Amino acid sequence: MSRTVIEVNNVSMRFHMNADKILSLKEFVTRKLRGKIQYEDFTALDHVSFSVQSGETLGLIGHNGAGKSTMLKVISGILKPTEGSVTTRGSVVPMLELGSGFDMDLTGRENIFLNGAILGYSEEFLQERYDEIVAFAELGQFIDVPIRNYSSGMMARLAFSVASLVEPEILIVDEILSVGDAPFQEKSRARMKDLMGGGTTVLFVSHSLDQIREMCKRVVWLEHGQVKMVGKTEEVCDAYNSFQGVPC
């Protein structure tokens, strides 16, 4: 019997932004002291509501600036919504900015344990999965090199390996299946499918509707921070394409 593991209830997210084009700290301080800085509110999310069931893979689509990444950060607990609430039931592993929890001065090996600890896993558990993580990342002897010397592809492979091999209950994914070379992308997709088949609940953002159609059974379409449509993948993706003027 399925249960609701992510519940987004009437969530709004507004940012108080500087409306002036200030090019230096000196100019900012001068205007601040004179009370001449202009601010404006930007609404990234506007009363958004939806839910995700256990074991479900839900896609999140929309154009750049539609609010997708902001929504994922709110669900992950990185941002606190201005209004509304988010309830999650289970451990949440966000794959939003791969490598954001890494220390550039530590080696790949050390960062596996650091990042794993940040995600809430014990040293014993990470020791058990260590060889598997290193093999998946395909780093070989570079695992003992400080990651400041890694290429962006190497960094992404290590980050994806740590995040995807620790068996999360809820996985939040933002555009990560495009990292690395083509073989690694294919391996990443296969790993994602394994997680989905194993009961992991996945909230998945991608600009690739082909990936959304392949991975997801249901989709939320955000437009200018609001829910435009929620429903079966084919129906929502076809409607989105029509809205964009793209033949289905």
- Cα–Cα distance, 149 to 195 (Å, whole number): 30
Task: Compute the C-alpha angle 1/4/13, nearest 5°.
Answer: 170
Q: What length is written for the chain?
A: 248
Helix intervals (H) in the chain: 25-34, 68-76, 108-118, 123-137, 152-164, 182-197, 209-215, 233-244
Residue with tokens 């997709």: 189
- Cα–Cα distance, 110 to 145 (Å, whole number): 10
Pairing of strands 226-232, 170-174: unpaired
DSSP state letter for 145? S
pLDDT value, residue 32: 58
Q: How far apart are the two ends of the chain, measured CA to CA in Å? A: 34
- Residue whose C-alpha is closest to residue 119's, from 96, 99, 94: 94
Q: Kindly tell me if the per-residue pLDDT of 214 is higher than 80.
A: yes
The structure tokens listed for 29 are: 């301080």
- Do residues 61 and 212 touch, judged by C-beta distance below 8 A? yes
Q: Kindly tell me if the per-residue pLDDT of 18 is higher than 80.
A: no
- Coil, helix or strand at residue 13: strand
Quote the pTM value.
Answer: 0.78
Give the residue with greater pLDDT, 6 vs 190.
Answer: 6
| pLDDT one-digit tens code per residue, 40-92 | 778 999 999 999 999 999 999 999 889 998 999 999 888 999 999 999 998 88
- Cα–Cα distance, 84 to 101 (Å, whole number): 28
